[in-house]
């Protein structure tokens, strides 16, 4: 099918590609993460892979949630990596993906978007991007990094219209998705190299600089439990450390953060 989208794969391939990286552009797919998962069994471990879609009919969020993926307006991108990490270090991959997204998106707006642990990027307290990393215990373990960015949307469905925003809604300007994808993949490559070079503390410090979460009172839902405290830092495994109401530090590896508004 011809590509009539503003996403120009040839430009991306020519300006970014290491020789062993394959790019797929799909006008429509259920989910770019699901597509990589399907390709995984026949995919040579030494080859890098990026899948981009113009439209996702079944975009995935965490825990079975939906990522609304309207055609022709957002970025829906997945990248396959094979990091040599122990399972408890995997949350760091979510951090590098969020950090790369924040740095790329912030090139296009005057007021910087802020990371919310573990996987959200917020602008004016509304979600502009989200990350979904999925681990596959294949012979050479693989991680699919999925990133959704709201770019040129001018409206959202009723269920998310009060919590979602886009670059267009915030800046009034149309953004060229090819240019943004180029920045995003450049940043992903850079942050992933930092990770491969064991610069985890640098990644955590940089993530922290792109977040306004620390020092704030938050509640975290974990299953049916709700923990209240102050977000104080990320630990070297990328866990969120909070100071709870009894003055005890607790490190959390997952959960749904809510900032308490006073
Ligand atoms: C995420 O999940 O934020 C992960 C989003 C990852 C999407 C990318 S797109 C490329 C790749 N392929 C996929 O299939 N997925 C990845 P979570 O933290 O669970 O947030 C999901 C929640 O965000 C939903 O329950 C809604 O409340 C809200 N939401 C859904 N669509 C949104 C959108 N387009 N913009 C802002 N918020 C949205």
Across 57-71, b (16+ Cβ under 10 Å) vs e yields: eebbebeeeebbbbe
Rounded to the nearest angstrom, the distance between the alpha carbon of 60 and the centre of ligand 1 is 6
DSSP letter for each residue of 122-188: EETTEEEEEEEEEEE--SS-EEEEEEEE--S-S---TTTTTTB--HHHHHS----HHHHHHHHHHHH
What does the alpha-carbon distance between residue 60 and residue 91 come to, in Å, rounded to a whole number?
18
State both tokens at 171: 């800046």
Q: What's the DSSP call for residue 57?
A: S
pLDDT at 262: 58
pLDDT at 28: 98
pLDDT at 4: 61
Q: What is the pTM of this model?
A: 0.96
pLDDT at 2: 42
pLDDT at 3: 47
Give the closest residue (by CA) to ligand 1 atom 35.
164
Can you tell me which atom of ligand 1 is nearest the CA of 58?
14
Which of 113, 118, 127, 123 lies closest to 220, judged by CA?
118
Give the closest residue (by CA) to ligand 1 atom 10.
76
Can you tell me which atom of ligand 1 is nearest the CA of 61?
2
- Cis peptide leading into 118, omega within 30 of 0? yes
> Which residues are CB-contacts of 106 (< 8 A; sequence separation ≥ 6)?
112, 113, 210
What does the alpha-carbon distance between residue 252 and residue 240 come to, in Å, rounded to a whole number?
5
Q: Where do we find the tokens 């012979």?
A: 139
> Taking CB atoms and a 6 Å cutoff, what residues make up the pocket around ligand 1?
31-33, 56, 59-62, 65-68, 76-78, 119, 127, 130-132, 146-148, 150, 160, 163-164
pLDDT in 10s for each residue of the chain, 262 residues: 444 689 999 999 988 877 779 999 999 999 999 999 999 999 998 899 999 999 999 999 999 999 999 999 999 999 999 998 888 888 999 999 999 999 999 999 999 999 999 999 999 999 999 999 999 988 888 999 999 999 999 999 999 999 999 999 999 999 999 999 999 999 999 999 999 999 999 999 999 999 999 999 999 988 788 899 999 999 999 999 999 989 999 999 888 899 887 5
Give the closest residue (by CA) to ligand 1 atom 16.
146
Which of 234, 190, 189, 230 lies closest to 211, judged by CA?
234
Q: Which domains does the chain have, with CATH numbers?
A: 9-209 (3.30.930.10), 217-259 (2.30.30.100)
DSSP letter for each residue of 73-96: TSEEEEEEE-----GGGTHHHHHH
pLDDT at 84: 86
CB-based burial label for 44 (10 Å; 0-12, 13-18, 19+):
exposed
Which of 29, 89, 82 lies closest to 53, judged by CA?
29
Can you tell me which atom of ligand 1 is nearest the CA of 68?
31
Pocket test for ligand 1, best of 26, 29, 130, 168 (most atoms within 8 A of CB): 130
Q: Residue 240: count other Cβ atoms within 10 Å of its Cβ.
A: 24
């Amino acid at each position: 099918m011809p590509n009539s989208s503003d996403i120009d794969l040839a430009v991306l391939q020519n300006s970014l590609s290491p020789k062993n990286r394959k790019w797929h552009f799909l006008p429509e797919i259920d989910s770019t993460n699901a597509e990589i998962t399907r390709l995984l069994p026949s995919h040579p471990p030494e080859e890098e892979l990026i899948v981009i879609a113009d439209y996702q009919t079944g975009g995935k969020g965490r825990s079975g949630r939906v990522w609304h993926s309207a055609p022709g307006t957002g970025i829906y991108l997945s990248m396959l990596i094979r990091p040599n990490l122990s399972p408890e270090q995997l949350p760091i991959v979510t951090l590098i993906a969020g950090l790369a997204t924040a740095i790329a998106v912030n090139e296009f707006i005057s007021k910087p978007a802020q990371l919310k642990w573990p996987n959200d990027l917020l602008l004016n307290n509304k979600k502009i991007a989200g990350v979904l990393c999925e681990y596959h215990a294949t012979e050479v373990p693989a991680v699919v990094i999925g990133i959704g960015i709201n770019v040129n949307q001018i409206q959202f469905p009723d269920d998310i219209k009060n919590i979602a925003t886009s670059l267009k809604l915030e800046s009034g300007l149309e953004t060229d998705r090819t240019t943004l994808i180029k920045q995003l993949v450049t940043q992903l490559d850079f942050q992933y190299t930092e990770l491969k070079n064991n610069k985890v503390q640098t990644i955590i410090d940089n993530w922290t600089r792109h977040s306004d979460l620390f020092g704030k009172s938050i509640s975290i839902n974990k299953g049916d439990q709700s923990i209240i405290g102050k977000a104080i830092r990320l630990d070297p495994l990328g866990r969120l450390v909070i100071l709870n109401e009894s003055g005890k530090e607790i490190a959390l590896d997952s959960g749904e953060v809510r900032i308490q508004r006073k």
